[in-house]
Amino acid sequence: MEKNMMDELIEKIKEKKSPIVMGIDPKYEMLPDVVKSKYPKTLEGFAKATVEFFKNLIDEIHDVIPAVKPQLAYFEMMGPLGLKAFKELVDYAKEKNLIVIADAKRGDIGTTSQGYANTFLGKTSLEEYEEEIYGADFVTVNPYMGTDCVKPFIEDSKKYNKGVFVLVKTSNKSSGELQDLKLENGNKVYEQVVSLVENWGEDLRGKYGYSSISAVVGATYPEQLKEIREKAPHTFFLIPGYGAQGGKAEDIALGFDKNGIGGIVNASRSLMTAYKSDLWKDKFTEEEYAKATRAEAIRMRDELNQAIYK
């Protein structure tokens, strides 16, 4: 059997018994002073502090989590230097055998989407010259423009053994404005999208039955999570909204199948700022921020496993 990126992700989750992806969301105010104070307060200093901070987190927790999810918006805020920092962290995470999900939420008309797919998953070709740009393993994609928008990402997933998470039901408050609109045929918009995702992923199903073309479904809407799990048995979930946004472990468990697989849960703020959380601030100093993140990742892992395997 050919390699399948979703199989690789699922195997890493099993191996580490940890369905957690650490969000890499470099917000200036979230970085600890012990790191920030080493660098000038400029975009360049911010980019350097970002790389130092997240490399340290990765060093400390790469054995307890299977994946990281850098959020492009925060890297783009630093300008071109931010994209260099993004690349450096993608490379570092891959060296540490982590799966990298580029959270870019891209999408455009076909030929232009090809550009985004090549940027994040594939290669840029200048006639016979080829170069990998970021080499992420997965990228998030916005489905509003339909099949011809998503297709280049599927093609690159086939060609380079990569994968895609398509936005289906997002974790934010206003996600229902479009996604929950009820259609004439009785379905909601997000149900229509998830049925498209099931089709798009047909050729890329791996040995666990899940496809490398899968979906983003928020922890903040547990009913939908449950319903989509039932309707889309080949669609793996990237689940944002755990912790800071309000999603609970028992809600999240609804997105998993009877074998305890089917999703990976994102945690950004709660991992990054564990060192100053009520739970850990008395146990770790600011200098020990990475150890606090590790402790929180283990706590989350256990909490999630308890809910998933109960």
* Listed residue (195, 199, 198) closest to 187, CA to CA: 195
160 lies in the binding site for its own copies (CB under 8 A): no
Strand pairing partners for 124?
131
Residues 89-128, mask of contacts with its own copies (x by CB under 8 A)? --------------x-xxxxxx-xx-xx-xx----xxxx-
Residue 2 interacting with its own copies (CB under 8 A): no
Least distance CB 178 / its own copies (angstroms): 6
**Count, residues in the chain:** 310
Give the interface segment with its own copies, choosing from 52-60, 89-97, 180-188, 253-261 (CB under 8 A).
Answer: 180-188
Which residue, 157 or 170, has its beta carbon nearer to its own copies? 170
Question: Using the rule CB under 8 A, is 231 a contact of its own copies?
Answer: no
Which residue is catalytic, options 12, 94, 105, 276? 105
**Residue 110 or residue 209: which is nearer to its own copies going by CB?**
110
What is the C-alpha separation between 38 and 57, in angstroms, rounded?
17
Q: What is the SS3 assignment for 195-231?
A: HHHHHHCHHHECCCCCECEEEEECCCCHHHHHHHHHH
Pick 41 or 283: Cβ nearer its own copies: 41
**CB-wise, 190 or 210, nearer to its own copies?**
190
DSSP H or E segment with residue 102: strand 99-106
Distance set, CA 210 to CA 5, 11, 173 (Å): 10, 12, 28
Which residue among 35, 57, 193, 232 contacts its own copies (CB under 8 A)?
193
Residue 276 · residue 286 · CB < 8 Å: yes
Q: Is 196 in the site for its own copies (CB under 8 A)?
A: yes
Residue 212 and residue 189 in contact, taking contact as beta carbons nearer than 8 Å: no
Query: How many other C-beta atoms lie within 10 A of the C-beta of residue 71?
Result: 21
Which span sits near its own copies by CB under 8 A: 38-46, 200-208, 231-239, 285-293?
38-46
* Out of 15, 38, 59, 77, the residue judged to bind its own copies by CB under 8 A: 77
Give yes or no for residue 175 binding its own copies (CB under 8 A). Answer: yes
Nearest alpha carbon to residue 159 among 207, 107, 117: 117
Alpha-carbon Rg for the chain in angstroms: 19
**How do beta strands 263-267 and 237-239 pair?**
parallel
Structure tokens that stand for 167 in this block: 């936005």
For residue 105, indicate whether it is catalytic. yes
Contacts with its own copies, residue ranges (CB under 8 A): 25, 28-29, 41-43, 46, 71, 73-74, 76-81, 83-84, 87, 103, 105-110, 112-113, 115-116, 118-119, 124-127, 129, 131, 133-134, 142-149, 167, 170-179, 181-184, 189, 192-193, 196, 240
- Point out the residues that are catalytic: 105
